[in-house]
Amino acid sequence: MSLAIGVFDSGIGGLSILQALRAALPRQDFVYVADSGHAPYGERSEAYVIARSRAIVQHLRAAHRIEALVVACNTATAAAIHLLRAEHPDLPIVGVEPALKPALALSKTRRIGVMATRSTLASAKFEALLRPLSSQAEFICQPCDGLADAIEHSMQARENVSDTTELLAICDGHTRAMGTFGTKGGEIDTLVLGCTHYPFVEPQLRELLGPQVQFVSTGEPVARQTRHLLQTTGNAAPARTKAGGGRILLYCTGSPAALQAAARRWLPCEGVVEQLSF
Ligand code: DGL
């Protein structure tokens, strides 16, 4: 394996970012870690998420040749990316955050829904992102307790998240709490998926909210930013221009079943998931 990009999340959510990374960098090798033995991050303390993020980056650097890191988790980005950058100044690090600015550019009603974990919404980083934009639109922020966990379990149990009534019920509860969706004045016309797990329930959300609501997620901009960073930091791996790259190694700290099923379905990738014990 040539120089790889390390990617991590609390679970399968980061695969929604890895899909876009792979499309933008088709010959790049990736090493993906799903910290499913310690998930969900969104309902843990900031100190816990920082400790896990540090441990994963240490592991990735010790066990693999990593030329860049993508923190494919909004919750870990909010809690830990500044520390990871300070502790690994030689490593280009890209994070993800709820796409409030792109949503602002799309919304006509100026009412924008934001679905994210409780921890992301409570973070200082999110507050700093939201504050300068809040005079331009109303952002209705919904902490989606239980949703990432339900997506993980659904994938583990049925290898299929497209038709589960439990997921639909959880999505229904959270979207109802945000108010009325639609394109008329006073309605929410744009929904930010501020957790990397949530693109995997976009079909359920569309079913609930109707075709007019616009969804905003972060995979493609993060992939573009990562490609740009690799080009500008001079870390362009020669292997990227040759045939034979594009491998994906998959690891998890919990049961491999969910990641295995999700990788097959969403990437798709047939690689066997290895379990890590830290
Ligand atoms: N996928 C993660 C995020 O983007 C967190 C999910 C969780 O573990 O709570 O925030």
| Nearest atom in ligand 1 to 39's CA | 8
Query: What is Dmax (Cα atoms) for the chain?
Result: 54
Q: Using a 6 Å cutoff on CB, does residue 79 contact ligand 1?
A: no
The CATH number that domain 100-216 falls under is 3.40.50.1860
Domain ranges of the chain: 4-96+219-275, 100-216
- Which of 17, 33, 41, 53 maximizes ligand 1 atoms within 8 Å of its Cβ, making it the mutation to test the pocket? 41
> CATH fold of 4-96+219-275, please?
Rossmann fold (3.40.50)
Q: Does residue 164 contact residue 113 with C-beta atoms inside 8 Å?
A: no
pLDDT of amino acid 26? 94
Q: How far is CA 147 from CA 73, 124, 172, in A?
A: 14, 22, 11
- Confidence grade of residue 164 (pLDDT, cut at 50, 70, 90): confident
Q: Using a 6 Å cutoff on CB, does residue 39 contact ligand 1?
A: yes
| Nearest atom in ligand 1 to 13's CA | 1
Cβ-Cβ contacts under 8 Å for 248 (sequence gap 6 or more): 18, 22, 29, 30, 31, 32, 263, 267, 269, 271
- Confidence grade of residue 241 (pLDDT, cut at 50, 70, 90): very low
Q: What is the pLDDT of residues 206-236, one digit of tens each?
A: 999 999 999 999 999 999 999 999 988 765 5
Q: Using a 6 Å cutoff on CB, does residue 148 contact ligand 1?
A: yes
Q: Using a 6 Å cutoff on CB, does residue 21 contact ligand 1?
A: no
pLDDT of amino acid 165? 84
Q: Does residue 88 contact residue 60 with C-beta atoms inside 8 Å?
A: no
Q: What is the pLDDT of residues 93-148, one digit of tens each?
A: 999 999 999 999 999 999 999 999 999 999 999 999 999 999 999 999 999 999 99
pLDDT of amino acid 156? 75
Mean pLDDT of 39-65: 97
pTM of the model: 0.94
pLDDT of amino acid 41? 97
3-state DSSP helix/strand/coil percent for the chain, to nearest 5? Answer: 50, 20, 35
- Which of 8, 73, 200 maximizes ligand 1 atoms within 8 Å of its Cβ, making it the mutation to test the pocket? 73
Cβ-Cβ contacts under 8 Å for 252 (sequence gap 6 or more): 11, 33, 34, 35, 36, 37, 258, 259, 273, 274, 275, 276
Instruction: List the catalytic residues.
Output: 73, 195
| Nearest atom in ligand 1 to 41's CA | 8
Task: Output the six-digit token pair for 190.
Answer: 């744009």
141 phi/psi in degrees, rounded to 5: -100, 125
pLDDT of amino acid 178? 98
pLDDT of amino acid 223? 97
Distance 30 CA to ligand 1 centre (A): 20
Whether the predicted pLDDT of 163 surpasses 70: no
pLDDT of amino acid 242? 43
Within this chain, domains 4-96+219-275 and 100-216 share the same CATH topology: yes
> What is the spatial distance between Cα 254 and Cα 186, in angstroms, rounded to a whole number?
44
> What is the spatial distance between Cα 218 and Cα 204, in angstroms, rounded to a whole number?
19
| Nearest atom in ligand 1 to 116's CA | 10
Whether the predicted pLDDT of 200 surpasses 70: yes
Q: Does residue 10 contact residue 227 with C-beta atoms inside 8 Å?
A: no
Distance 218 CA to ligand 1 centre (A): 13
Q: How far is CA 100 from CA 57, 75, 136, 216, 237, in A?
A: 27, 15, 11, 9, 33
Distance 2 CA to ligand 1 centre (A): 29
